[in-house]
């Protein structure tokens, strides 16, 4: 038998070098993928912040208003009905005419008064209704400018462009420059954007109504889907016998998790509104629709968390005489709770961003008032973003991006709560 020839080390060195090159290339590809993903995330968040931050700033003009009694209290009795029927727009127009005495002609005056928001009259009215002693006095008010004036102040209107190509005329731009030079215009944080409801005027529109609508809807979704989903998962994983019926249920739960969300909206439209006749556009109905959509996700996540608990824990509990119910609720469930809560938050985050099922039950309506209960007409943040993105006014572009920032903030808070709850309920397994 002949002995093997000498080993050629160069062959092994080439193979080893090739393996190292492949590992380096794979590592570089992984880092490049992470870099591209982070770059896309920074680009997305940066563009949203750049376009949305102006929505959190409001521009006001300071005017001295003469609250003459014959204008703001036409009946002269000081009642709320009389004060509500006052001509507050005329008071604002008089203050503008006094500030710009050279403006003459009906069209020129109309262009001048268009620089102040139409909602400014309601701000003055609310102040008078709150304090009736203001009638007959001359006071200084900070009133919101119109959306066209705000766009000019933000640099979105090119003064060098032909007058026919922009929404502000030359005399309107001159009036804005005069007010800025006179110190009449100032800006501050737009608290009304977070607390107010929707409006046809971009400078007055806020996400407060949609924010509360989303909160009410998610509360209903959580109260309905969490206990039902966890109970169903516990029964299927711990107590249900293995037969064709339970296999059929498990297959359908997995299939329901992949059903398009608009199908749940059609179900809610047919059952909750058509059959039961519940209130349209209410957060209570929206929460029931989203709970149907969230249930499969919670059930699947809960079953996976229960299955991840070591069998030795169950055996040890039963070895000391615990009943099957005590084993599950005293030992298995506390260990699985962090995973259950994480899956629930993931399902709730999906529900927060849904639009299609809520459109089907009427939560796309224009709602100017902030809802105060689960039955009041309302909308949600994704639907509000959809409505503003389709608005023709240029100023709604900043409002849309600002609403996206609020939605992302809401989502970050939910994810932060998920992390805190997971760490709070984590228990080491002995």
pLDDT, tens only, 64-102:
999 988 888 888 888 889 899 889 999 999 999 999 988
User: Could you tell me the domains of the chain?
Assistant: 62-189 (no CATH), 208-425 (1.10.3720.10)
Banded model confidence at residue 391, pLDDT cuts 50, 70, 90:
confident
pLDDT of residue 7: 58
Average of pLDDT values for 199-205? Answer: 88
pLDDT at res. 319: 86
Q: Angle at the Cα of 269 (from 264 to 270), degrees rounded to 5?
A: 100
Per the confidence metrics, is the pTM higher than 0.95?
no
Q: With contact defined as beta carbons under 8 Å apart, do 186 and 62 qualify?
A: yes
Instruction: Give CA–CA dist 240/209, Å, rounded.
Output: 44
CA 224 to mean position of chain CA atoms:
21
Burial state string for 146-156 with b = 16 or more CB within 10 A and e = fewer than 16: bbbbbbbbeee
CB contact at 8 A, 72 and 135:
yes
- Confidence at residue 413, expressed as pLDDT on a 0 to 100 scale: 87
Terminal Cα-to-Cα distance of the chain (whole angstroms): 60
Over residues 235-250, the pLDDT tens digits come to 998 888 888 888 888 8
């Amino acid at each position: 038998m002949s002995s093997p020839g000498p080993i050629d080390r160069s062959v092994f060195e080439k193979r080893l070098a090739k393996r190292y090159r492949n590992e380096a290339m794979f590592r570089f590809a992984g880092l490049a993928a992470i870099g591209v993903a982070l770059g896309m995330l920074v680009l997305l968040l940066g563009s949203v912040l750049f376009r949305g931050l102006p929505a959190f700033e409001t521009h006001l003009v300071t005017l001295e208003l003469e609250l003459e009694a014959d204008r703001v209290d036409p009946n002269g009795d000081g009642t709320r009905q009389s004060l509500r029927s006052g001509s507050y727009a005329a008071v604002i127009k008089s203050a503008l005419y006094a500030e710009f005495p050279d403006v003459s002609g009906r069209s020129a005056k109309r262009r001048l008064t268009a620089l102040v928001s139409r909602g400014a009259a309601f701000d003055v009215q609310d102040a008078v209704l709150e304090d009736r002693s203001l009638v007959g006095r001359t006071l200084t008010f900070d009133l919101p400018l119109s959306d066209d004036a705000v766009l000019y102040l933000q640099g979105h209107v090119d003064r060098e462009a032909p007058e026919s190509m922009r929404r502000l005329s030359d005399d309107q731009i001159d009036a804005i420059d005069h007010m800025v030079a006179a110190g009449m215009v100032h800006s501050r944080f737009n608290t009304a954007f977070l607390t107010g409801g929707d409006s046809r005027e971009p400078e007055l529109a806020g996400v407060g109504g949609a924010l509360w609508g989303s909160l009410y809807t998610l509360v209903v979704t959580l109260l309905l889907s969490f206990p039902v989903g966890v109970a169903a998962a516990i029964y299927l994983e711990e107590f249900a016998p293995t037969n064709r019926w339970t296999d059929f249920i498990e297959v359908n739960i997995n299939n329901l998790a992949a059903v398009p969300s608009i199908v749940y909206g059609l179900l809610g439209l047919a059952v909750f509104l058509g059959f039961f006749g519940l209130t349209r556009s209410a957060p209570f109905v929206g929460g029931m629709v989203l709970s149907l959509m969230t249930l499969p996700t919670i059930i699947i996540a809960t079953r996976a968390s229960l299955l991840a608990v070591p069998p030795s824990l169950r055996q040890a509990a039963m070895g000391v005489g615990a009943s099957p119910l005590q084993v599950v609720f005293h030992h298995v469930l506390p260990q699985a709770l962090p995973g259950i809560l994480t899956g629930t938050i993931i399902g709730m985050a999906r529900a927060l961003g849904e639009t299609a099922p809520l459109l089907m039950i009427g939560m796309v309506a224009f709602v100017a008032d902030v809802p105060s209960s689960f039955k009041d007409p309302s909308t949600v943040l994704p639907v509000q973003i959809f409505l503003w993105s389709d608005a023709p006014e240029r100023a709604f572009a900043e409002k849309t991006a600002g609403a996206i920032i609020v939605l992302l903030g809401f989502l970050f808070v939910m994810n932060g709560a998920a992390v805190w709850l997971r760490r709070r309920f984590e228990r080491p397994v002995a």
